[in-house]
Structure 1
């Protein structure tokens, strides 16, 4: 049985309106699943030195771009035809914003694939892969959980993702310090280590975009904008 909040966007007299909202939600989750897999595959391509996989990831980015354009058109058409108000308007506007975040996650996956190709040609960097794997697992889990929170309209799970973003920032800073120290001790590997640093930066940005999606879920459910808000304040909104 769906909860009240899971069903809050599917209780209109117009069956077509319900179908339109359901389709928008489904298409968004399809795009989310694709960019999540893109990020996982990009990290694996880097660690495995798999240039063929990296090439495929870069080619699939065009699919992500097309999905972004389709979802934008779908949302714009829904607004024009249905003129949604209140909670429905929050839903559609939030989807438009979150689609932009997903497209940027796809861009970050494409960047990682680019550096995977570079390192496959130059030879693997001597350090940084453990950190890439760890942070990569962390941010892809955040992204997965953010999409799940959207699917179930779960503000409490979204709040957990906001808390995780701080941990990712700390992990990224620690990994960067470790790699910079190694580079200063052995300057022969600066070029390859810099590639790993850029990969770590891309992964940290994936975490930021997952957090943005979580913030929009809270806005959809609670009706309050928690962007640029300390987690403690967001906790008050969700905990009411």
Structure 2
């Protein structure tokens, strides 16, 4: 680590020299000074490479670094690359001065405030990076906002002057110079965010970090961020930033954990509204919303961290007794929810419509799934589009005789089992709505099937989880006079199997899921009798 820090200091000194040299060239264009700045660029590149090599050597050395050390090493790598980028932009600025007809042109514009911001950011780096000072790292990040504002002012002025038609060459050269200065701000932002990463051990965009800081303050968490631990929860496909926040200390050294979520405002607002609805309906099933901070495009929330393990984790564990208790609790909870919200209003799930909406993403990842019409003798195999058209026609008269409140994203990693209380909790509820229960049933079954686990023992467990929940849901449907449950479920399973392939890059496994989805749709389309007589081919869901 000492070698990395030492070369970081050398690199920082060289970048500061480049910035001072660039200011001097703008004050008085001098070809020798430009050549000197260009020559130093190679030394800067070498220093960046030395830091990069030292980072990788430390990561893969004989002594395995701890997680905080790994974060610091990765931060230095990012910082070195972005400081080198600042140096590159300095070279580009001085090269632009060669294009001036009137070298004094740039002096008519406010370029000095740009350099003052850049100087400040560079001066703050030792404290932010080496002393790991959070407040200073944030100040570096904010320089990018200030540079953006300065650039907008000069851009607007030059754009207006270009309309006159006079001195357009020099005006464009000046605009390019300001553009390079603005891009230095982007690199400085990356440096500041990398410094935060080195301090916290987790990658934050400055907007996300500010959102976390603000919402914690608003919700009464008085500890500074340095006294908090943040652990990202990866694997989510929602597009939201999700992490576990642990507040250390306090009375009796107690710990409080919450979930921080940051993302699209409309999605989070819907989820926040749903929390209140679920709490009124079945208290304790959904997490409690502790704080919500709404913005125009993005919002953030703090959510109660619920105890328990996900059904997915339990299905992949070796504790079959615990899994059995969890599945029993899950079925009890689903039945209680469905009983409480059942409304005798026919409703259509729209499985084929949902499939068509996600098909472009599937075909982007797997272009070979765009099936064409084929003939084998007199037998015709329809194209994918023809099959979906026929499936949509078959689905049209198949409305469920009742609606229930569904989770909306009923994957096994969104269902928690608390073994202490022997109860289920639901998380990630932004899609919950009243509709056909086959929506949740099909998503749940396929969320087990699509797990890339291939040893026979674990696959048998996953298959048993799928079949147990199917039997429970089918029995519930029969009790409530739902005669077309199987055929609607086949459509939902076909949809989920096909759309899940967009998250699976294994050609073999994605093809297996796709063709089983196609098989189920073909079975529905080929069924000519009473829809109530259709029987779901359960073997398609066992692998």
Q: TM-score, normalised by structure 1?
A: 0.82
3-state SS of paired residue (2:111): helix
3-state SS of paired residue (1:229): helix
Which of these residues, 86, 90, 94, is aligned with residue 75 of structure 2?
94
The equivalent residue for 2:40 is 60
Number of residue pairs the alignment of both structures matches: 217
The more displaced of 66-75 and 141-150 is: 141-150
Higher helix fraction: Structure 1 or Structure 2?
A: 1
3-state SS of paired residue (2:192): helix
Is residue 78 of structure 2 the alignment partner of residue 138 of structure 1?
Answer: no
The equivalent residue for 1:73 is 53
The equivalent residue for 1:177 is 156
Is residue 127 of structure 2 the alignment partner of residue 148 of structure 1?
Answer: yes
The structure-2 alpha-carbon separation of the partners of 1:52 and 1:166, relative to structure 1 and needing over 3 Å to count, comes to same
Distance in 1, Cα, partners of 2:123 & 2:185: 11
Q: Deviations over 1:116-173 (max 9, x none)?
A: 2333xx3225355542122122222223223431122111111122233212211110
For residue 203 of structure 1, report the CA deviation from its aligned partner. Answer: 0.9
Higher strand fraction: Structure 1 or Structure 2?
A: 2
For residue 184 of structure 1, report the CA deviation from its aligned partner. Answer: 1.7
Q: Deviations over 1:180-213 (max 9, x none)?
A: 212222x231111111111111111112211211
The equivalent residue for 2:172 is 194
Is residue 191 of structure 2 the alignment partner of residue 210 of structure 1?
Answer: no
Root-mean-square deviation (CA), in Å?
Answer: 2.1
Structure 1, unmatched stretches of 5+, are 1-20
3-state SS of paired residue (1:84): coil
3-state SS of paired residue (1:153): coil
Is residue 143 of structure 2 the alignment partner of residue 168 of structure 1?
Answer: no
Distance in 1, Cα, partners of 2:80 & 2:13: 12
Contact 2:121-2:139 at 8 Å conserved across structures:
no
Contact 1:41-1:57 at 8 Å conserved across structures:
yes
The equivalent residue for 1:112 is 93
Structure 2, unmatched stretches of 5+, are 217-222, 226-543
Distance in 1, Cα, partners of 2:54 & 2:205: 25
Between structure 1 and structure 2, the one with the greater Rg is: 2
3-state SS of paired residue (1:115): helix
Contact 2:48-2:84 at 8 Å conserved across structures:
yes
Q: TM-score, normalised by structure 2?
A: 0.38
Distance in 2, Cα, partners of 1:201 & 1:84: 40
Distance in 2, Cα, partners of 1:163 & 1:65: 26
The structure-2 alpha-carbon separation of the partners of 1:230 and 1:50, relative to structure 1 and needing over 3 Å to count, comes to farther
The equivalent residue for 1:227 is 205
Contact 1:125-1:189 at 8 Å conserved across structures:
no
Contact 2:45-2:84 at 8 Å conserved across structures:
yes
Contact 1:49-1:124 at 8 Å conserved across structures:
yes
The equivalent residue for 1:5 is none
Distance in 2, Cα, partners of 1:232 & 1:79: 30
3-state SS of paired residue (1:64): helix
Distance in 1, Cα, partners of 2:171 & 2:9: 35
